[in-house]
Structure 1
């Protein structure tokens, strides 16, 4: 396990993270079934996290809160506090960094650790994993499950398939165990395979992870091309490498600090929007958020994209289209006019339930093209001033008059992170 050519990688996963944080902060509900969920009066009434006790009643993540409460009438429902969860996640990152400087954030509740160089300081892998579990539990009240492998994929599979299920919360998956342990698992247990992909594999006659792994890669690519089209070779190779437990990627601190390829925002509306003025209000608000984010990161974009989903829920219609603008920009009004034109070109006039705006084709905004019809120096100075005020006093410190109308969502969104309340 610890040979010179091998690494020792952990995937540390926080159990029912949001719910665990709430239980740690509210001791009175530690023995009760707890879920963290959005507002049931709105379309955000979805279970974001369910504690193990709630799961015993059949409550699952991503189901509607009403359905969860039918399964468990005594369910304790906590509203999400996203900023607090982010803060706790960062606290846990600092604990991991006491064991290694190679920590890569995979999600808010999952992080990779390369502890290869730490074994002689802290002991064998299982000893280190237990120490991490104890320290995180003592300092945050959150339980951590740890998958151990010689690469990131083996560590991830060890966590998802075994460590989350056993009482110790630790499992080691070595390369020598792949054929005897991993290949026996049903295909839906494999990382990256959801219900739809499981259906595709079933129709291809592949029911276990081993069925994928034992298929020669050229043959698997051929099967994928016939099913998904000519551009599916990369997808086929990712699935084949995952099934074989192969992964050469290093644990990379600061992964989320790499420059983005696009900046976007999307929201599900609290009700169906049908009037032009209602839709334009939200389009403008989203455009303002996107452009503000671009300015804060020092980017402007060539390409604006608009996505839309329309009711009814059972058979929604919608589109996702993009267009290249004459010049790269991060100015709200300029991007809004392009987004608005794009929206009306493809909107089928059905009630709008979700809409999104994105800027891509990003370049550095330190240089920009002057035009005869717009005072770019003045508009950039104005954008900079309003951004500074919002950064200092909050995004609702300055809002457009249109956002004060019933359709406006800017005030509510200013209280949220990632679509959930701070």
Structure 2
């Protein structure tokens, strides 16, 4: 089954603010400046025509008495983890899909808790009592059926629970327009309609070989994988099990990117942000026990209609996770490829990892051991007190973003 929390951020805020229970509420950017976008809207706000990702100004024009609350990302993460623990009290097979959606394999738990519907209702009540958040459940034989059941039926069902079986697909899912199919966005929906496949059933009932041929004509010979993916989704076929540790794998690269609050036009200003991001990347690599051999730097301008900037990478002489070493190589890339035009986004990443327990000694780098020891001390301080406990002096300049960034999670304030 798939558990999905209704309007998660907004539900958490309403649980914390009972006085807003009967008022339309959104979680959005900056209420004082009346700017930003809507991250979550409660059902009462949605009834006023407010949608997620809408600009806050537009939302307020639709509903002047709208309650606007600034996001608290750490709070939402804490509640999400609390809900995960509730799921784990019913089954040990829990796979997070997003901050408010999680897959559960309850096959081994049904003899203890009854039918899937009864178990879903039990978990639903448990989550509501513990957090004040309303959860919906899609139930199916596979993960894709559970996801489809939740998105298309449970969210519109008064009970918030719906079971979708493969046998019932012809009378249920297949009758829906293709726009309701998982992974079919607006552009793909238009393509399906042009190909004469207006419903999910029309995709499902098209022989796979024919669907591949149709998509090859439209997208080229490399579209076979996409064709089979859509065909399997439409037929509810999904071989993937619920994997509790699906996100706990070693990364191929570690990177950070940030959008700047204004255009940066001077090399010295860009270098400040690049140093701050390099420090974050190297800190994460040290925490993972990796050194990177390849450094990549990317910069983008503010005009998306006429893209400017660059994205380049370079192999360092030796693998490293020491901030100053990586930063020197990153600066080489910046100085070589930046065209002098204003920059609005900066990013850096490390890849081609090797364990940091082994490294080549150098006759010319006599400060490496000392630098590594210093980094370990600052990492320990930051892990205990937060990244703002120790910052570089340049981060206190107008160009610095480290202090503001340390107060955020995923671009939103904690």
* Alpha-carbon separation, structure 2, partners of 1:229 and 1:385: 54
* Alpha-carbon separation, structure 1, partners of 2:246 and 2:114: 27
Shift of 1:108: 0.8
Partner of 1:58: 49
* Alpha-carbon separation, structure 2, partners of 1:403 and 1:269: 14
Unaligned runs of 5+ in 1: 1-9
SS in 1 for 2:236: coil
Contact persistence 1:40–1:46 (CA under 8 A): no
Q: 1:203 to 1:311 in 2, by over 3 A?
A: farther
SS in 2 for 1:265: strand
* Alpha-carbon separation, structure 1, partners of 2:407 and 2:363: 39
SS in 2 for 1:374: coil
Answering whether residue 386 of structure 2 is matched by residue 394 of structure 1, we say: yes
Partner of 1:406: 398
Answering whether residue 120 of structure 2 is matched by residue 136 of structure 1, we say: no
Shift of 1:87: 0.9
TM-score (norm 1): 0.92
Shift of 1:242: 1.2
TM-score (norm 2): 0.93
* 1:162-201 mapped onto 2 (5 Å cutoff): 162-201=153-192
Contact persistence 2:279–2:323 (CA under 8 A): yes
* Alpha-carbon separation, structure 2, partners of 1:369 and 1:43: 54
Contact persistence 1:159–1:170 (CA under 8 A): yes
Unaligned runs of 5+ in 2: none
The root-mean-square deviation of aligned C-alpha atoms, in Å, is: 2.1
Structure 1 range deviating more: 285-294 or 41-50: 41-50
SS in 1 for 2:354: strand
Contact persistence 2:91–2:106 (CA under 8 A): yes
Q: 1:206 to 1:359 in 2, by over 3 A?
A: farther
Contact persistence 1:261–1:361 (CA under 8 A): yes
Partner of 1:103: 94
SS in 1 for 2:30: coil
* Alpha-carbon separation, structure 2, partners of 1:312 and 1:40: 27
- 1:344-365 deviations in whole A, cap 9, x for unaligned? 4444433222222222222322
Contact persistence 2:182–2:233 (CA under 8 A): yes
Which of 76, 79, 83 aligns to 1:85? It is 76
Structure 1 range deviating more: 332-341 or 402-411: 332-341
Shift of 1:341: 3.0
Q: 1:288 to 1:257 in 2, by over 3 A?
A: same
Partner of 1:25: 16
Partner of 1:266: 257
Partner of 2:268: 277
- 1:89-111 deviations in whole A, cap 9, x for unaligned? 11111111121111111111001
Shift of 1:266: 1.7
Answering whether residue 158 of structure 2 is matched by residue 154 of structure 1, we say: no
Contact persistence 1:102–1:113 (CA under 8 A): yes
* Alpha-carbon separation, structure 2, partners of 1:274 and 1:197: 39
Partner of 1:288: 279
Contact persistence 1:24–1:141 (CA under 8 A): yes
* Alpha-carbon separation, structure 1, partners of 2:8 and 2:26: 11
Q: 1:353 to 1:211 in 2, by over 3 A?
A: farther
Q: 1:182 to 1:303 in 2, by over 3 A?
A: farther
* Alpha-carbon separation, structure 1, partners of 2:399 and 2:235: 51
Partner of 2:238: 247
* Alpha-carbon separation, structure 2, partners of 1:337 and 1:111: 42
SS in 2 for 1:156: helix
Partner of 1:3: none
Contact persistence 1:43–1:270 (CA under 8 A): no
Contact persistence 2:35–2:56 (CA under 8 A): no
Count of aligned pairs: 413
Structure 1 range deviating more: 124-133 or 385-394: 385-394
Structure 1 range deviating more: 250-259 or 169-178: 250-259
